[in-house]
Amino acid sequence: MTTRSLIRVLAVDDSAVVRQVMAGILNEREGFSTETAPDPLIAQEKIRKRRPDVIVLDLEMPRMDGMSFLRQLMRHSPLPVIICSGLAGSGTAAALKALQEGAVSVIAKPNVGVREFLQETAIQLADEVRAAAASRRDPAHAPPLNSASPRSQLSVGGRASSSVPSLVVIGASTGGTEAIRQILSAMPPGCPPIVITQHMPAGFTAAFAAHLDVDCAIEVREAQHGDAITRGRALIAPGNFHLQVERDGRGGMRAAVASGPLVSRHRPSVDVLMQSAALHVGVNALGVLLTGMGRDGVDGLLAMHATGARTIAQDEASCVVYGMPKEAVAAGAVDEVLPLSRIASRILQQSGRLVTQTWG
C-alpha cells in the first residue's frame, strides 16, 4: 500500500502507555500511519504540519482538556474525531457532550487495565478509525452554492406546495445532537409526528432521547419496532439499527426497526429513513437535513423531493460541519436552506401552526 493511501491517524492522550499501545495496534495493521501527541497544544502543531485523516482523542489532558480541543477543532478545521476516554462510558454526560460537539464515535476506556483493553479491542479500534476516515469528504466534491444567494434563507427549489406535512423526517450527523435539541425543544404538544436518524453509536441513543424527553414539551423516545408514529411524539433511530416508516394498515404509521447492512456507510442511515418516508408518506412529509460529515441523507432527501415533499437543509453558517446539507443542495434535493434558528418555526409554519405563540 502506498503512503498516499494510508489512513493518517493522530492519537492524542497524556498517557505514554496509551499512545504507545494505540500506535502499535494501528501501525501493525496494513493501511494505517499513526502519530501521537501528549496534549492538544502539541496536537495543534502536528495538525498544522501534517493534517491527519482521523484523530483519536482523550478527554482528560493537561494544558487543554479534550472537550475544549474538540470544540475548537470542529469550529475551525473539522476532522473526524473518535473519543477514547475513561470519562466517556455509554450514555454518560461526557459521551453525549462529545457527540454533540461533533465526535463521530466514542470508545469508553477503563481506568485500569488500559493496555489490555486496547489490545483486546484492537479490531474495534481499527474498524472505528476506518469508518471515521471513510466519512471524510473532499470539500471540493460538491460545487459551492451560488455566492450571490443569502445564506440566512435561500429558496433553492422554487416550488410551491399546499400540502400540510403529516410527518417530519430529520437526518443529522456530526454536531446534530445539539441541532436536534434546539428543534425539538421548540415543538409544542400536538406538533406533527417526527422521526429522526442521528448517527450515534449503540448504547447512546436511549440516553440521548431520555435527556430530550425531559427538556422538551413533546414526548421523545428511542424508537422500538412497532411504535406508533403520532402527533406530539419524536422517535429517534436506535444506534446500530435502521429506522423506517411504514403504514400500520389502519390509516396510521408505525416505526420499523431492524438491523441490516450499512447504507451510505452508516447504520442507522438517514437515506433508509427518508426513502421509506418517500415511499409511504410522499408529498405529505417534510424532510430536514442537518449538520453532518459525508453525504448520508442526500439520496433519501432527493427521493422525498421527487414525490413533492418539502425539503429543508441547514445553512453553512449554523452547521458544525457543512457536509450533508451542502451535498443535498448540490444534488438538487433541497427547497430551502435555513439557519438552525429558523428551522423549527418553518416546520410549524408548514404544519399550519402559529409560530408566534409561546409554548411551555
Confidence bin at 225 (pLDDT 50/70/90): very high
Which amino acid is residue 351, in one-letter code?
A: S
Which amino acid is residue 251, in one-letter code?
A: G
Q: What is the mean pLDDT of residues 224-247?
A: 96
> For residue range 179-188, what is the model confidence (pLDDT) as tens digits?
999 999 999 9
Kindly report the CATH number assigned to the domain that includes residue 219. Answer: 3.40.50.180
Q: What is the mean pLDDT of residues 22-44?
A: 93
Residue from 39, 53, 58, 296 carrying the catalytic annotation: 296
**276 and 338 part of one domain:** yes
> In this predicted model, which residue has the larger pLDDT, 193 or 136?
193
**241 and 123 part of one domain:** no
For residues 46 and 43, what is the distance between their CA atoms, to the nearest angstrom? 5
Domain tally for the chain? Answer: 2
Cα-Cα-Cα-Cα dihedral sign, residues 255, 256, 262, 264: negative
Q: Give the pLDDT score at 164.
A: 60
DSSP helix, strand, coil percent of the chain (3-state; round to 5)? 35, 20, 45
**87 and 52 part of one domain:** yes
**130 and 165 part of one domain:** no
Residue 307 has φ and ψ, to the nearest 5°, of: -80, -10
Q: Which of 37, 35, 33, 34 is nearest to 14 (CA)?
A: 37
For residues 337 and 325, what is the distance between their CA atoms, to the nearest angstrom? 8
Which amino acid is residue 201, in one-letter code?
A: P
> In this predicted model, which residue has the larger pLDDT, 160 or 240?
240
Residue from 173, 264, 269, 276 carrying the catalytic annotation: 173
> Could you say which of 84, 104, 134 is where a domain stops?
134
**174 and 38 part of one domain:** no
**18 and 162 part of one domain:** no
> In this predicted model, which residue has the larger pLDDT, 136 or 30?
30
Question: In which residue are the cell numbers 492524542 written?
Answer: 12
**334 and 192 part of one domain:** yes
Query: In sequence order, what are the beta bridge partners of 10?
Result: 35, 55
Among 43-57, 95-109, 174-188, 252-266, the range scoring the smallest mean pLDDT is: 95-109
> In this predicted model, which residue has the larger pLDDT, 75 or 58?
58
Is the pLDDT at 148 greater than 60? The verdict is no
> Could you say which of 101, 134, 167 is where a domain stops?
134
Is the pLDDT at 161 greater than 70? The verdict is no
Residue from 85, 166, 199, 276 carrying the catalytic annotation: 199
CA atoms within 13 A on the CB side of 57: 34
Is residue 295 included in any domain, yes or no? yes
Q: Is 153 helix (H, G, I), strand (E, B) or coil?
A: coil
Question: In which residue are the cell numbers 502499535 written?
Answer: 24
Q: Give the pLDDT score at 41.
A: 96
Task: Note if the bond before 40 is cis, omega within 30 degrees.
Answer: no
Residue 318: domain span: 154-350
Is the pLDDT at 360 greater than 60? The verdict is no
Q: Is 32 helix (H, G, I), strand (E, B) or coil?
A: strand
> For residue range 78-127, what is the model confidence (pLDDT) as tens digits?
888 999 988 766 667 888 888 878 888 888 787 778 888 888 888 878 88
Which amino acid is residue 358, in one-letter code?
A: T
295, 270 contact by CB (below 8 A)? no
Is the pLDDT at 152 greater than 80? The verdict is no
Quick check: is 305 catalytic?
Answer: no
Quick check: is 173 catalytic?
Answer: yes
Is residue 343 included in any domain, yes or no? yes
**179 and 75 part of one domain:** no
For residues 121 and 124, what is the distance between their CA atoms, to the nearest angstrom? 5
Among 24-38, 82-96, 128-142, 264-278, the range scoring the smallest mean pLDDT is: 128-142
Is the pLDDT at 245 greater than 50? The verdict is yes
Q: Give the pLDDT score at 157.
A: 53
Is residue 48 included in any domain, yes or no? yes
Q: What is the mean pLDDT of residues 316-323?
A: 88
For residues 170 and 92, what is the distance between their CA atoms, to the nearest angstrom? 24
Is the pLDDT at 158 greater than 80? The verdict is no
Round the CA-based radius of gyration of the chain to a whole number and report it: 20
Is the pLDDT at 280 greater than 90? The verdict is yes
Q: What is the mean pLDDT of residues 294-323?
A: 94
Q: What is the mean pLDDT of residues 169-175?
A: 92
Cell numbers linked to 297:
441523507
Q: Give the pLDDT score at 145.
A: 33
Q: C-alpha distances in angstroms, 62 versus 59, 73, 183?
A: 10, 17, 35
Quickly list DSSP for 219-284.
Answer: EEEE--TT-EE-TTEEEEPPTTSEEEEEE-SSS-EEEEEE----BTTBSS-HHHHHHHHHHHTGGG
